[in-house]
């Protein structure tokens, strides 16, 4: 079985966040970077599938040069090889552009399964995997918690809202977007870290993939949410106060 | 409280490669997830978290800086970073890994026969087998050269008689590396658990290193076949060479304990308020202590990196490692004391790691060459005059 895992490098959760001078993104100079958390679970799911069914796990990542660190971490955890679509620093790709690049590179790998996180920790659009499937002409399923690989088909458990789950069976190849927290993430063993040195990382230039790089959607302005500090004093008798408070909680705050 | 993020005042991380930082991350995450949640209970109960042994083996922690026979083949700097993170968790966990790698696997790899290496190293690396190192005796600690344990050559076998004490992992060990005087020389032997005439008993009542097993070993006409003698381990020097390996790891480990104390105290000082609702961190005397700690930790890190780099270049001398061990343990102990002070009454509680580190570091100061002994080694290096007697 050939599994391809698309991973993204995002700004670390512990990194201090400041809006950049152009007010279009966060300041990356003093940031730390790490693997997008749902992608880490996609990688874990892929490695577990490989342990069970054999085959190969390849990592696919579109990102600037620094993203190679995240790729090497994935190789240290047990991925067999990687494809790095190297983007120019600060390339402003939208989900459509990224997914198109990933899809073009993924097609050449002829995978049985493509796994990726259900969304990214930075933009949180939840579109990349889905658009990628569409571009590749493959079926997809989102918010996956379990994968039961059955040769020509795959049966997956999806998380719906309100504690509901759905089981879907679909043919392979397919694209699955993986939910966070579905398994215990493994550590990179010391032997794995050493072995990663000799694993292949194929580098592709975005331009070679023939995808127009001007985005269909751009971020116009990024800003910190304004701090809204409002206090309202509810007046009246205790009964009136309670009634008004309930009314406000229901109609204004909408928490009841 | 968020997980431990290390202490880096002066871009020390820029001295490490990406791979070295990845190794540290593995050790750090392992400690955060597996050691921190259980260590308080282990320390109270006086037990070693033995359920972690196989996992540490799988990750490659045992004999990590050794090459071949299932060992991870890490550099000395990478090995040091692992020790730092482990001791951030607890000195007892780091001690286990030090003994297994530097005091048991290292002598087998360096002084053992091919057969001994093949038989023991893969099992010790995976944690399937546990080792201990018996050098200290009731009457001979700082001066192991005076040891009384004897090995008598008898019909091709060696017959051991004597007693070893303060032996980490002693009763838990499947294999003991034991030094004894035989045919006029100090020699190293592999003694397997269950060998007739070999027994162990645990030392109770420790107020330090409570999450580590410490035992006495007794040898009474204990017959060891000739093939269990370590062929290359002849002369006290060979025993001391193992200590040099372990001391190197301790020099890094102490930084981890110091970091944990400092970081605990720093965070505590920012939230604990006294006098006019001000955090105690706003008082000059408190800041002076934090400033002292972070300065000494930074110096200790630089010392460790330098010794690690020259060790990787095969240029580190025992006297270099003495400076690393002595300095870093001493400052770690002082950091623990200062942190204990800054935490006030809370500082004596096991809810915080500080008192545990403080008690542990008292052992770390004594074992693997006391502070005094390392001063004498450094003194001899700079004067040429040995002053041990
Ligand atoms: C928890 C624990 C685990 C241990 N694990 C092991 C183990 O796995 N294997 C092992 O073999 N040993 C082990 N040890 C023993 C340890 O290495 C010894 O305790 C250490 O070498 C010191 O010996 P001692 O306790 O006999 O102290 P002593 O040698 O009696 O020293 C007592 C004091 O006298 C000072 N002193 C002695 N000689 C001189 C001198 N010439 N000049 C100046 N001062 C001097 C010392 O510095 C110290 O302050 C362990 C000890 C502990 C506490």
Q: Would an 8 Å CB–CB cutoff place A216 in contact with chain B?
A: no
Domain A2-209, CATH? 3.40.50.620
Superfamily of domain B12-126: Acyl-CoA dehydrogenase/oxidase, N-terminal domain (1.10.540.10)
Residue B44 pLDDT > 50, yes or no? yes
Question: Distance between CA atoms of A232 and A244, rounded to whole angstroms?
Answer: 11
Mean pLDDT computed over A102-127: 95
pTM of the model: 0.93
pLDDT digits (tens, 9 = 90+) for A179-228: 999 999 999 999 999 999 999 999 999 888 877 667 888 889 999 888 87
The nearest alpha carbon in chain B to A197 belongs to: B19
User: Cis peptide leading into A173, omega within 30 of 0?
Assistant: yes
Q: Would an 8 Å CB–CB cutoff place B188 in contact with chain A?
A: no
Is residue B301 within 8 A of residue B326, CB to CB? The reply is no
Residues of B with a known catalytic role: 368
Q: Give me Rg for the CA atoms of chain B.
A: 21
Q: What is the DSSP string of A159-175?
A: E-STT-EEEEEEESSEE
The nearest alpha carbon in chain A to B28 belongs to: A187
Q: Give B346's DSSP letter.
A: G
pLDDT digits (tens, 9 = 90+) for B120-145: 999 999 999 999 999 999 999 999 99
User: Which pLDDT belongs to residue B7?
Assistant: 96
- How distant is the alpha carbon of residue B384 from its chain centre? 28
Report the run of H or E that residue A177 belongs to, with start and end.
Answer: strand A174-178
Best A12, A13, A34, A193 member to test B by mutation, with max B CBs in 10 Å, is A193
- Counting residues of chain A whose pLDDT is more than 90, the rounded percentage is 75
Distance set, CA A128 to CA A70, A89, A100, A142, A177 (Å):
18, 20, 9, 11, 9
Q: What is the DSSP string of B206-256?
A: -SSSTTS-EEEEEEEEEEE-GGGEEEEEESHHHHHHHHHHHHHHHHHHHHH
Is residue A178 within 8 A of residue A42, CB to CB? The reply is yes
Residue located nearest, by CA, to atom 43 of ligand 1: B372
Contact A14 B2 (CB under 8 A): yes
Instruction: Label residue B302 by pLDDT band (50, 70, 90).
Output: very high
Question: Who among B5, B22, B58 is closest to A193 (CB)?
Answer: B22
Those residues with Cβ within 8 angstroms of residue A250's Cβ, 6 or more apart along the chain or in another chain: A256
Separation of B365 CA from ligand 1 center, angstroms? 9
User: Which pLDDT belongs to residue A213?
Assistant: 65
Is residue B157 within 8 A of residue B225, CB to CB? The reply is yes
Nearest Cα residue to B160 out of B127, B203, B192: B192
Is residue A132 within 8 A of residue A114, CB to CB? The reply is yes
Counting Cα atoms < 13 Å in the Cβ hemisphere of A255 gives 5
Mean pLDDT computed over B341-352: 98
Phi, psi of A253 (to 5 degrees): -80, -20
Those residues with Cβ within 8 angstroms of residue A143's Cβ, 6 or more apart along the chain or in another chain: A118, A158, A159, A160, A177, A179
User: Which pLDDT belongs to residue B1?
Assistant: 42
Q: Strands B214-224, B198-202: parallel, antiparallel or unpaired by DSSP?
A: antiparallel
Distance set, CA A149 to CA A41, A57, A205 (Å):
17, 15, 33
Superfamily of domain B238-383: Butyryl-CoA Dehydrogenase, subunit A, domain 3 (1.20.140.10)
Question: Distance between CA atoms of B164 and B138, rounded to whole angstroms?
Answer: 7
Q: Which of the listed residues B367, B373, B378, B388 should we mutate to test ligand 1's pocket, taking the one with most ligand atoms within 8 A of CB?
A: B367
Chain A residue numbers touching B2 (CB-CB < 8 A): 14
Which residue did the predictor score with more confidence, B341 or A231?
B341
Question: Distance between CA atoms of B184 and B140, rounded to whole angstroms?
Answer: 17
Question: Distance between CA atoms of B51 and B127, rounded to whole angstroms?
Answer: 11
Is residue B119 within 8 A of residue B190, CB to CB? The reply is no
Task: Specify the residue for token string 């690049």.
Answer: A101
Question: Distance between CA atoms of B245 and B167, rounded to whole angstroms?
Answer: 17
Q: What is the ipTM for the molecules in this complex?
A: 0.92
Sketch the domain layout of chain A as residue ranges: 2-209, 227-256
Nearest Cα residue to A178 out of A2, A1, A6: A6
Sketch the domain layout of chain B as residue ranges: 12-126, 131-234, 238-383
CATH class label, B131-234: mainly beta
Residue B89 pLDDT > 50, yes or no? yes
Q: Mean pLDDT for chain B?
A: 97
User: Which pLDDT belongs to residue A230?
Assistant: 78
Buried b (16+ CB within 10 A) or exposed e, B142-166: eebeebebebeeeeebbbbbbebbb
* Cα Dmax for chain A: 76
Instruction: Label residue A90 by pLDDT band (50, 70, 90).
Output: low
Instruction: Label residue A229 by pLDDT band (50, 70, 90).
Output: confident
Mean pLDDT computed over B87-95: 98
Q: Strands B278-279, B273-274: parallel, antiparallel or unpaired by DSSP?
A: antiparallel
Question: Distance between CA atoms of A128 and A142, rounded to whole angstroms?
Answer: 11
User: Which pLDDT belongs to residue A50?
Assistant: 98
């Amino acid at each position: 079985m050939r599994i391809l895992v698309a991973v993204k490098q995002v700004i670390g959760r512990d990194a201090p966040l400041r809006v950049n001078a152009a007010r279009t993104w966060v300041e990356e100079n003093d940031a730390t970077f790490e693997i997008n958390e749902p992608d880490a679970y996609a990688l874990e799911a892929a490695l577990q599938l490989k342990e069970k069914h054999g085959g190969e796990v390849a990592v696919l990542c579109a990102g600037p040069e620094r993203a190679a660190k995240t790729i090497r971490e994935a190789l240290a955890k047990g991925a067999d090889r990687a494809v790095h679509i190297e983007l120019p620093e600060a390339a402003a790709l939208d989900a459509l552009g990224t997914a198109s690049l990933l899809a073009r590179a993924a097609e050449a790998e002829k995978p049985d399964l493509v796994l990726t996180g259900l969304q990214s920790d930075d933009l949180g659009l939840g579109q990349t995997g889905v658009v990628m499937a569409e571009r590749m002409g493959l079926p997809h399923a989102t918010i996956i918690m379990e994968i039961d690989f059955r040769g020509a088909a795959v049966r997956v458990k999806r998380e719906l809202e309100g504690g509901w789950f759905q089981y879907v069976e679909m043919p392979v190849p397919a694209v699955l977007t993986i939910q966070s927290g579905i398994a215990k993430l493994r550590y990179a063993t010391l032997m794995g870290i050493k072995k990663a040195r000799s694993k292949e990382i194929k580098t592709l230039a975005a331009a070679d993939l023939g995808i127009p790089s001007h985005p269909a959607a751009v971020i116009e302005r990024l800003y910190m949410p304004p701090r809204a500090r409002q206090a309202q004093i509810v007046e009246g008798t205790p009964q009136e106060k309670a009634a008004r408070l309930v009314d406000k909680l229901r109609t204004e705050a909408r928490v009841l | 409280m968020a997980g431990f993020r290390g202490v880096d005042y002066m871009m020390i991380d820029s001295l490490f490669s990406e791979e070295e930082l990845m190794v540290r991350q593995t050790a750090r995450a392992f400690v955060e997830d597996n050691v921190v949640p259980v260590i308080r209970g282990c320390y109270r109960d006086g037990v070693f978290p033995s359920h972690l042994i196989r996992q540490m083996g799988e990750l490659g922690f045992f004999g990590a800086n050794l090459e071949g026979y299932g060992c991870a083949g890490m550099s000395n700097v990478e090995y040091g970073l692992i020790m730092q993170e482990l001791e951030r968790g607890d000195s007892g966990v780091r001690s286990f890994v030090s003994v297994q790698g530097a005091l048991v696997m290292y002598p087998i790899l360096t002084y053992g026969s091919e057969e001994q290496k093949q038989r023991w190293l893969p099992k010790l690396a995976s944690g399937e087998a546990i080792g201990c190192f018996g050098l200290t005796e009731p009457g001979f600690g700082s001066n192991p050269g005076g040891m009384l344990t004897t090995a008598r050559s008898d019909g091709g076998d060696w017959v051991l008689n004597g007693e070893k004490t303060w032996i980490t992992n002693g009763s838990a060990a499947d294999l003991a590396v034991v030094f004894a005087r035989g045919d006029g020389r100090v020699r190293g032997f592999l003694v397997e658990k269950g060998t007739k005439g070999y027994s162990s008993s645990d030392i109770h009542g420790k107020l330090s290193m409570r999450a580590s097993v410490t035992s006495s070993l007794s040898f009474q006409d204990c017959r060891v076949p000739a093939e269990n003698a370590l062929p290359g381990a002849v002369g006290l020097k060979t025993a001391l060479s193992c200590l040099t390996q372990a001391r190197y790891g301790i020099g890094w480990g102490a930084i981890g304990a110091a970091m944990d104390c400092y970081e605990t105290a720093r965070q505590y000082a920012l939230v604990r308020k006294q006098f006019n609702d001000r955090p105690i961190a706003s008082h000059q005397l408190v800041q002076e202590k934090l400033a002292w700690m972070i300065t000494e930790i930074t110096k200790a890190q630089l010392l460790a990196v330098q010794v690690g780099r020259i060790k990787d270049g095969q240029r580190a001398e025992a006297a270099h490692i003495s400076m690393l061990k002595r300095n870093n343990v001493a400052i770690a102990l002082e950091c623990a004391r200062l942190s204990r002070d800054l935490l006030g009454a809370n500082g004596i509680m096991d809810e915080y790691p500080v008192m545990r580190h403080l008690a542990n570091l008292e052992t770390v100061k004594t074992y693997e060459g006391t502070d005094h002994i390392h001063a004498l080694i450094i003194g001899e290096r700079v004067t040429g005059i040995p002053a041990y007697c």
